[in-house]
Amino acid sequence: MSQNPINPKSAYYIKLGRGGAWEQECIQQKQTLRLGYHQIPDNLCRQGKWDNVQSILENIRGDSGTATRDKNQIRIFYEADETVLWVTFFGDRLYWGFSRPEITVLPDKTKSRPVIGAWSSTDIKGNPLQKYQLSGSLLRVEAFRGTICAIKDKDFKYLVRKINGVIEPDVDEALQAKATFESKIEALLHKLTWKDFELLIDLIFRQAGWQRIRVLGKTQKSIDLDLLYPLTGERFLVQVKSSAHSKQLDNFRKQMQNFQDYNRAYFVVHSPAPNFKKLSDDDIEVWFPRDIASRVVLYGLADWLITKVS
């Protein structure tokens, strides 16, 4: 379910403990932000006596510059209001949330403040915010040696767009162009001979790192490929059909019950019957021409296909 778009006035990255020591507790259990600096009296921060805080930190750090940076981070933690966006990283995802400035002093003299609702690791449309899908510029904040740092300018705008699930115009144009290209590739698939179509499917799996061990059966209408993934030892069985309908998939599913040494099965169809539909929870992965076309593009086989049908 989609949420309303966020519109923060500013954003901060917060490191939840040295080496992420508080991440699991803050994110999965208590839904909080947490700050160290146990030497700093809570009452000074609440009263806004930041010059006093500065003096304490200078005595601890022995350096006014470092003390100023620490003081500023503490001040942000105490004074940031509910319009401020907070982000952190945990596992392979970015987490975000807003927080009420209600400070609690914990028994170890560290401080916490509650997240409104809960930490989220998805955009407002429910898509996971996985680190590998985020810009390197934004990910640089994870290497910040302090506790809290501002996310500014382009990174701030990028972060808000990401959380709101907004695609940048040039990215959207590229995706549309890719979809158009895949549609053209799909049309070319139907021009392949059965032998070349069989070879193309073999090439797709080879490009993905699989090795063909043997051909289990070969007729004019179907072929079964026995594939091995060398790194893990997994084995896949692939049935390639020139044409097929749901009943043939059911037969293949029944046949698979007799094979005990395979991790997964694929049913690849050149020309599926009009009423042939995939099942979302099927234990057999079905590839229709559009699925094949996307993999032709993904694995760099478009030139091979174009040459074959030219």
The residue out of 121, 140, 163 marking a domain boundary is: 163
Give the DSSP per-residue string, 41-99: -HHHHHTT-HHHHHHHHHHHHS-HHHHHHHHHHHHHHHH--TTEEEEEEETTEEEEEEB
pLDDT at 217: 59
Domain range for 51 is 10-163
Helix (H) or strand (E) run with residue 235 in it? strand 234-244
Per-residue pLDDT of the chain (310 residues; tens, 9 = 90+): 558 899 999 999 999 998 889 999 999 999 999 999 999 999 999 999 999 999 999 998 888 899 999 999 999 999 999 999 999 999 999 999 999 999 999 999 999 999 999 999 999 999 999 999 999 999 999 888 889 999 999 999 999 999 999 988 888 899 999 999 999 999 999 999 888 998 999 999 999 998 888 765 555 455 678 898 988 888 888 888 888 878 888 788 777 777 777 888 888 988 888 888 776 666 788 899 999 999 999 999 999 999 999 8
pLDDT at 216: 58
Residue 90 belongs to some domain of the structure:
yes
pLDDT at 43: 93
Give the SS3 label for residue 160.
helix
CATH code for position 24: 3.10.590
pTM for the whole thing?
0.74
Residue 304 belongs to some domain of the structure:
yes
Residue 183 belongs to some domain of the structure:
yes
Are both 101 and 211 inside the same structural domain? no
Are both 303 and 229 inside the same structural domain? yes
Residue 243 belongs to some domain of the structure:
yes
Are both 65 and 204 inside the same structural domain? no
pLDDT at 280: 63
Q: Hunting for tokens 């040494």 — which residue is that?
A: 261
Please tell me the total count of domains within the chain: 2
Q: CB–CB of 230/209 below 8 Å? A: yes
Are both 126 and 233 inside the same structural domain? no
Residue 184 belongs to some domain of the structure:
yes
Which amino acid is it at 243? S
Are both 130 and 269 inside the same structural domain? no
Are both 302 and 176 inside the same structural domain? yes
Query: Which ranges of the chain does DSSP label H, i.e. alpha helix?
Result: 23-24, 42-46, 50-61, 64-79, 136-139, 153-163, 169-189, 194-207, 246-256, 289-298, 302-309
Residue 1 belongs to some domain of the structure:
no
Are both 242 and 135 inside the same structural domain? no
pLDDT at 213: 82
pLDDT at 134: 94
pLDDT at 220: 44
The residue out of 163, 187, 217 marking a domain boundary is: 163
Are both 130 and 263 inside the same structural domain? no
